[in-house]
Amino acid sequence: MNKPRRKSDYRLEEIDGELLLYHPGRTEILYCNPTASAIWHLCDGNWTAEEIISLLRSTYPEAEETIAAEVEEALDLFLKHGAIEFV
């Protein structure tokens, strides 16, 4: 139970590399910058948070120092809004 997975009840709108996640049942919308968008796409139930951090560090070495905090922040946001679950 440590791999984040997207819930299917969010509608995804991608614009210029950023995301808006919209929940049709609530008047609720989440904004994801390009990093948060990448994290969202990695929430498929196959990766732990640590593995996501590691993957993004290797992809964006210039942002190595901030990646861990950004992943933690994004997962907290997704979880708080019920957009992901841990499997």
Task: Catalog residues that contact another protein under the rule CB under 8 A.
Answer: 11, 13, 15-16, 18-20, 22, 24, 27, 29, 31-32
CB atoms within 10 A of CB 38: 20
- If the CB atoms of residues 19 and 67 are measured against another protein, the closer one turns out to be 19
Could you tell me which residues are beta bridge partners of residue 16? none
Question: Minimal distance in Å, beta carbon 22 to another protein?
Answer: 5
The label of the residue with tokens 């210039």 reads 62
Query: How far is it, in rounded angstroms, from Cα 56 to Cα 50?
Result: 10
Q: At closest approach, how far in Å is the CB of 23 from another protein?
A: 9
